Protein backbone atom coordinates (compact mmCIF):
# COMPACT_ATOMS: atom_id res chain seq x y z
CA UNK A 1 0.00 0.00 0.00
CA UNK A 2 2.68 2.48 -1.01
CA UNK A 3 1.50 6.09 -0.85
CA UNK A 4 1.13 8.08 -4.07
CA UNK A 5 3.10 10.91 -2.47
CA UNK A 6 5.61 11.29 0.32
CA UNK A 7 3.91 12.21 3.61
CA UNK A 8 5.58 14.73 5.89
CA UNK A 9 3.90 15.29 9.26
CA UNK A 10 4.92 18.02 11.70
CA UNK A 11 4.33 17.20 15.36
CA UNK A 12 4.40 20.49 17.26
CA UNK A 13 4.06 18.77 20.65
CA UNK A 14 3.28 21.30 23.42
CA UNK A 15 4.41 24.34 21.44
CA UNK A 16 2.50 27.07 19.56
CA UNK A 17 -0.82 28.34 20.81
CA UNK A 18 -3.43 29.71 18.40
CA UNK A 19 -1.59 32.98 17.70
CA UNK A 20 1.75 31.35 16.82
CA UNK A 21 -0.06 28.67 14.84
CA UNK A 22 -1.78 31.33 12.74
CA UNK A 23 1.55 33.08 12.01
CA UNK A 24 3.11 29.76 10.96
CA UNK A 25 0.17 28.77 8.75
CA UNK A 26 0.16 32.15 7.00
CA UNK A 27 3.87 31.81 6.18
CA UNK A 28 3.90 28.12 5.22
CA UNK A 29 3.50 27.05 1.60
CA UNK A 30 4.38 23.37 1.13
CA UNK A 31 5.09 21.84 -2.29
CA UNK A 32 2.04 20.35 -4.01
CA UNK A 33 3.75 17.06 -4.77
CA UNK A 34 4.05 16.18 -1.06
CA UNK A 35 1.25 15.34 1.38
CA UNK A 36 1.81 17.55 4.42
CA UNK A 37 0.11 17.21 7.79
CA UNK A 38 0.44 19.61 10.72
CA UNK A 39 -0.25 18.30 14.24
CA UNK A 40 -0.74 21.21 16.66
CA UNK A 41 -1.74 21.12 20.31
CA UNK A 42 -5.50 20.97 20.92
CA UNK A 43 -6.01 24.74 21.46
CA UNK A 44 -4.54 25.48 18.02
CA UNK A 45 -6.42 22.82 16.05
CA UNK A 46 -9.19 25.12 14.85
CA UNK A 47 -6.76 27.77 13.67
CA UNK A 48 -4.76 25.30 11.61
CA UNK A 49 -7.92 23.70 10.19
CA UNK A 50 -9.16 27.14 9.14
CA UNK A 51 -5.84 27.82 7.39
CA UNK A 52 -6.56 25.01 4.95
CA UNK A 53 -3.62 22.86 6.04
CA UNK A 54 -4.35 19.18 6.62
CA UNK A 55 -4.59 18.96 10.39
CA UNK A 56 -4.10 16.01 12.74
CA UNK A 57 -4.45 15.96 16.53
CA UNK A 58 -1.61 14.62 18.66
CA UNK A 59 -3.78 11.96 20.30
CA UNK A 60 -7.41 10.80 20.38
CA UNK A 61 -9.47 8.70 22.78
CA UNK A 62 -11.18 5.42 21.86
CA UNK A 63 -14.62 6.36 23.23
CA UNK A 64 -17.05 8.57 21.37
CA UNK A 65 -18.01 10.27 24.64
CA UNK A 66 -17.94 9.59 28.35
CA UNK A 67 -16.34 10.45 31.70
CA UNK A 68 -12.77 10.76 30.44
CA UNK A 69 -11.57 14.10 31.79
CA UNK A 70 -8.92 15.72 29.61
CA UNK A 71 -9.48 13.46 26.61
CA UNK A 72 -10.88 14.28 23.17
CA UNK A 73 -13.06 11.87 21.17
CA UNK A 74 -12.93 10.99 17.46
CA UNK A 75 -16.35 12.59 16.71
CA UNK A 76 -15.19 15.84 18.34
CA UNK A 77 -12.19 15.97 16.02
CA UNK A 78 -14.34 15.16 13.00
CA UNK A 79 -16.77 17.96 13.91
CA UNK A 80 -13.85 20.38 14.17
CA UNK A 81 -12.65 19.47 10.68
CA UNK A 82 -9.56 17.64 11.87
CA UNK A 83 -8.47 14.98 9.39
CA UNK A 84 -6.73 12.54 11.71
CA UNK A 85 -4.55 11.94 14.74
CA UNK A 86 -1.18 10.71 15.86
CA UNK A 87 -1.61 7.71 18.15
CA UNK A 88 0.90 6.09 20.49
CA UNK A 89 3.74 8.59 20.27
CA UNK A 90 6.64 7.51 22.46
CA UNK A 91 6.09 10.49 24.75
CA UNK A 92 2.50 9.39 25.29
CA UNK A 93 3.74 5.90 26.11
CA UNK A 94 6.53 7.16 28.36
CA UNK A 95 4.81 9.94 30.29
CA UNK A 96 1.10 9.12 30.17
CA UNK A 97 0.91 5.37 30.47
CA UNK A 98 -0.07 4.51 26.91
CA UNK A 99 0.16 0.77 26.30
CA UNK A 100 0.05 -1.37 23.18
CA UNK A 101 -3.59 -2.14 24.05
CA UNK A 102 -4.70 1.49 24.43
CA UNK A 103 -2.78 2.53 21.33
CA UNK A 104 -4.57 -0.19 19.38
CA UNK A 105 -7.98 0.87 20.76
CA UNK A 106 -7.38 4.52 19.91
CA UNK A 107 -6.26 3.57 16.41
CA UNK A 108 -9.29 1.42 15.71
CA UNK A 109 -11.74 4.02 17.05
CA UNK A 110 -10.19 6.85 15.07
CA UNK A 111 -10.26 4.89 11.82
CA UNK A 112 -13.85 3.81 12.43
CA UNK A 113 -14.83 7.47 12.89
CA UNK A 114 -13.33 8.37 9.52
CA UNK A 115 -10.06 9.86 10.74
CA UNK A 116 -6.62 9.11 9.42
CA UNK A 117 -4.09 7.70 11.88
CA UNK A 118 -0.33 7.91 12.22
CA UNK A 119 0.38 5.10 14.71
CA UNK A 120 3.83 5.24 16.28
CA UNK A 121 6.03 2.27 17.09
CA UNK A 122 9.65 1.98 18.10
CA UNK A 123 12.19 0.50 20.48
CA UNK A 124 14.18 2.02 23.34
CA UNK A 125 17.97 2.22 23.30
CA UNK A 126 18.17 -0.59 25.84
CA UNK A 127 15.92 -2.78 23.71
CA UNK A 128 18.00 -2.12 20.59
CA UNK A 129 21.27 -2.83 22.36
CA UNK A 130 19.91 -6.12 23.71
CA UNK A 131 18.81 -7.24 20.24
CA UNK A 132 15.07 -6.93 20.89
CA UNK A 133 14.20 -4.41 18.18
CA UNK A 134 12.22 -6.82 16.01
CA UNK A 135 10.44 -8.38 18.98
CA UNK A 136 9.33 -4.98 20.27
CA UNK A 137 8.20 -3.85 16.81
CA UNK A 138 6.32 -7.10 16.21
CA UNK A 139 4.35 -6.80 19.46
CA UNK A 140 3.51 -3.12 18.85
CA UNK A 141 2.60 -3.47 15.17
CA UNK A 142 0.57 -6.66 15.59
CA UNK A 143 -1.49 -5.07 18.38
CA UNK A 144 -2.43 -2.23 16.01
CA UNK A 145 -3.00 -4.52 13.04
CA UNK A 146 -5.13 -6.98 15.01
CA UNK A 147 -7.35 -4.19 16.36
CA UNK A 148 -7.68 -2.07 13.24
CA UNK A 149 -6.86 -4.35 10.33
CA UNK A 150 -5.12 -3.08 7.23
CA UNK A 151 -6.74 0.23 6.42
CA UNK A 152 -6.29 2.80 3.67
CA UNK A 153 -6.10 5.62 6.24
CA UNK A 154 -3.58 3.87 8.51
CA UNK A 155 0.04 5.00 8.43
CA UNK A 156 2.76 3.68 10.74
CA UNK A 157 5.61 5.81 12.03
CA UNK A 158 8.85 4.14 13.09
CA UNK A 159 10.30 6.33 15.82
CA UNK A 160 13.19 4.76 17.70
CA UNK A 161 12.67 6.05 21.22
CA UNK A 162 16.38 6.73 21.64
CA UNK A 163 16.20 9.21 18.74
CA UNK A 164 13.24 11.28 19.96
CA UNK A 165 14.36 14.73 21.04
CA UNK A 166 17.91 13.51 21.65
CA UNK A 167 19.60 14.70 18.48
CA UNK A 168 20.45 11.07 17.72
CA UNK A 169 19.15 9.65 14.46
CA UNK A 170 18.93 6.10 13.20
CA UNK A 171 21.33 5.50 10.36
CA UNK A 172 19.69 5.17 6.95
CA UNK A 173 20.47 1.44 7.07
CA UNK A 174 18.84 1.06 10.50
CA UNK A 175 15.77 2.96 9.35
CA UNK A 176 15.49 0.93 6.15
CA UNK A 177 15.78 -2.37 8.03
CA UNK A 178 13.14 -1.38 10.57
CA UNK A 179 10.75 -0.14 7.87
CA UNK A 180 11.14 -3.37 5.91
CA UNK A 181 10.36 -5.40 9.00
CA UNK A 182 7.26 -3.32 9.83
CA UNK A 183 6.02 -3.68 6.25
CA UNK A 184 6.43 -7.46 6.53
CA UNK A 185 3.83 -7.33 9.31
CA UNK A 186 1.31 -4.85 7.89
CA UNK A 187 0.64 -3.41 4.45
CA UNK A 188 0.84 0.30 5.22
CA UNK A 189 3.06 3.30 4.52
CA UNK A 190 5.78 3.80 7.13
CA UNK A 191 7.21 7.18 8.11
CA UNK A 192 10.51 7.71 9.89
CA UNK A 193 10.47 9.81 13.04
CA UNK A 194 13.40 10.68 15.26
CA UNK A 195 15.40 13.92 15.05
CA UNK A 196 14.59 14.46 11.37
CA UNK A 197 15.98 17.78 10.20
CA UNK A 198 16.92 19.43 6.90
CA UNK A 199 20.50 18.19 7.20
CA UNK A 200 19.56 14.49 7.25
CA UNK A 201 16.21 14.47 5.44
CA UNK A 202 17.62 13.57 2.03
CA UNK A 203 19.57 10.52 3.14
CA UNK A 204 16.67 9.17 5.20
CA UNK A 205 13.85 9.85 2.73
CA UNK A 206 15.69 8.41 -0.27
CA UNK A 207 15.83 4.95 1.33
CA UNK A 208 13.54 2.17 0.05
CA UNK A 209 10.58 1.63 2.33
CA UNK A 210 10.67 5.12 3.84
CA UNK A 211 7.40 6.76 2.83
CA UNK A 212 7.89 10.07 4.59
CA UNK A 213 8.74 11.54 7.98
CA UNK A 214 7.20 12.44 11.31
CA UNK A 215 9.08 15.60 12.22
CA UNK A 216 9.30 17.02 15.74
CA UNK A 217 11.37 20.07 16.63
CA UNK A 218 12.32 20.86 13.04
CA UNK A 219 8.63 21.34 12.18
CA UNK A 220 8.31 24.34 14.49
CA UNK A 221 10.28 26.63 12.19
CA UNK A 222 8.69 27.46 8.84
CA UNK A 223 11.94 27.48 6.89
CA UNK A 224 13.19 24.25 8.46
CA UNK A 225 9.92 22.38 7.87
CA UNK A 226 9.67 23.72 4.34
CA UNK A 227 13.20 22.48 3.59
CA UNK A 228 12.24 18.96 4.74
CA UNK A 229 9.12 19.07 2.58
CA UNK A 230 11.24 20.19 -0.37
CA UNK A 231 13.56 17.23 0.17
CA UNK A 232 10.55 14.93 0.04
CA UNK A 233 9.38 16.62 -3.15
CA UNK A 234 12.48 15.37 -4.95
CA UNK A 235 11.97 11.70 -4.10
CA UNK A 236 11.02 9.72 -7.25
CA UNK A 237 7.45 8.38 -7.00
Is 179 marked active-site? no
Of 91, 123, 159, 179, the catalytic one is 159
Distance between CA atoms of residues 198 and 213, nearest Å: 11
Distance between CA atoms of residues 156 and 81, nearest Å: 22
Length of the chain as a residue count: 237
Is 159 marked active-site? yes
Query: For the packed helices 198-205 and 172-185, what is the interaxial angle rounded to 10 degrees?
Result: 50
Position 125 scores a pLDDT of 85
Decide if domain 7-233 falls under CATH 3.30.930.20. no
Domain ranges in the chain? 7-233
Position 237 scores a pLDDT of 64
Of 89, 98, 123, 127, the catalytic one is 89
Reading the chain (237 residues) residue by residue, the pLDDT tens digits are 445 689 999 999 999 999 999 999 999 999 999 999 999 999 999 999 999 999 999 999 999 999 999 999 999 999 999 999 999 999 999 999 999 999 999 999 999 999 999 999 999 888 988 999 999 999 999 999 999 998 999 999 999 887 766 777 778 888 899 999 999 999 999 999 988 999 999 999 999 999 999 999 999 999 999 999 999 998 876
Amino acid sequence: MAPAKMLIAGNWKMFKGPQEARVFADAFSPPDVVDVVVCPAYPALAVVVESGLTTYAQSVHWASDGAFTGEVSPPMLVELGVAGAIVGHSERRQYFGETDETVARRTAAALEAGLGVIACVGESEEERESGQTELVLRVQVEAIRDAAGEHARLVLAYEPVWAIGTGKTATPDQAQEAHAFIKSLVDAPVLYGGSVKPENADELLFRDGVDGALVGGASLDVDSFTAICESAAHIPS
